[in-house]
Amino acid sequence: MHEEPFQVPVESGALHGHVGGEGPPALLLHGGAAVTDYMDGCAQELDGLLRTIRYQQRGTFPSDTGPPYAIEAHVADAVAVLEFFGVEQAWAIGHSWGGHLALHLAVTHPERLLGVVCIDAIGASSDVFGEMDSNLRRRLSDGQVARIEEIEARRREGEVTEAELFERWELVWPFWFADPEAAAPDPVRHIGPQSSMEVNASLAAHYAAGTLRNKLPEVRLPVLFVHGELDPLPLRSSTETAALIPGAQVETIRRCGHFPWLERPGELRRRVKKLLRL
């Protein structure tokens, strides 16, 4: 798949990304938040179905944008990318935190979307996080869990460093996969500390306000949730969120963790192709 690099100027800097493929336009929104854009493999999975536009979200190299890093700023960035390419409407395809961001696009700018695909997405309720953490940590040693808790405490205090966040990410990375011994190489090379802290604070504020829970029932777009059955993020993150959206569908991928295009190549493509009715 051939991709071309691009830069989108925004108020506090520029967003760096890649565009490629042919078909209806689709924004690919990576998870994290505040980690390296890792959606190149997802773009390849969807090659021939969609023209994919993926970019490094604000606050992490190579994008050189400054604050704010709240959800509202990330939504504005997504719209700015569409404007840059002259795209009136696009699919929003997001993974993990990126799926959550796609849902915020759906409730704030439905006129700019053809539909939404949420891949193992963080949903409308925060009550899944305890179960997710338990699923991840039961595979870790006591020492590793203690270190992760120390880093999380520093993030809550606003003192965490990129090196510490990267250490935490690497400790957990293999356990996002159904088979940790077969985990794909870690693609993340950068994590933006300030962005990570502010996105998490913004998430907490929106959960407390019930933003998605209150507004998703008004969405009138095609919405597909795809979720690995062995993802540490519980399946109900998708099913309970989908239940809020009229007509939303949920597809489960067997023997799969958090990254379907890496663990079960072709399964995500098949489901998106069905949604597009190709």
pLDDT digits (tens, 9 = 90+) for 129-183: 999 999 999 999 999 999 999 999 998 899 999 999 999 999 999 999 999 999 9
pLDDT tens by residue, 183-209: 999 999 999 999 999 999 999 999 999
The pLDDT, as a whole number, for residue 224 is: 98
This prediction has a pTM of 0.97
Q: Which two tokens stand for residue 92?
A: 């929003």
- CA dist 55 → 19, 84, 225 (Å): 9, 12, 21
> In the predicted model, what is the mean pLDDT of residues 12-41?
97
pLDDT score, position 11: 87
| Mean pLDDT, the chain, integer | 97
Structure tokens that stand for 58 in this block = 């604000």
Give yes or no for residue 278 having a pLDDT over 70: no
**All domains in the chain, ordered by first residue:** 3-127+190-276 (3.40.50.1820)
pLDDT digits (tens, 9 = 90+) for 209-251: 999 999 999 999 999 999 999 999 999 999 999 999 999 999 9
For residue 79, count CB atoms less than 10 angstroms from its CB and return exposed for 0-12, middle for 13-18, buried for 19 or more: middle
**Burial of 249 from C-beta contacts in 10 A (0-12 / 13-18 / 19+):** middle
Peptide bond into 68 cis (omega under 30): yes
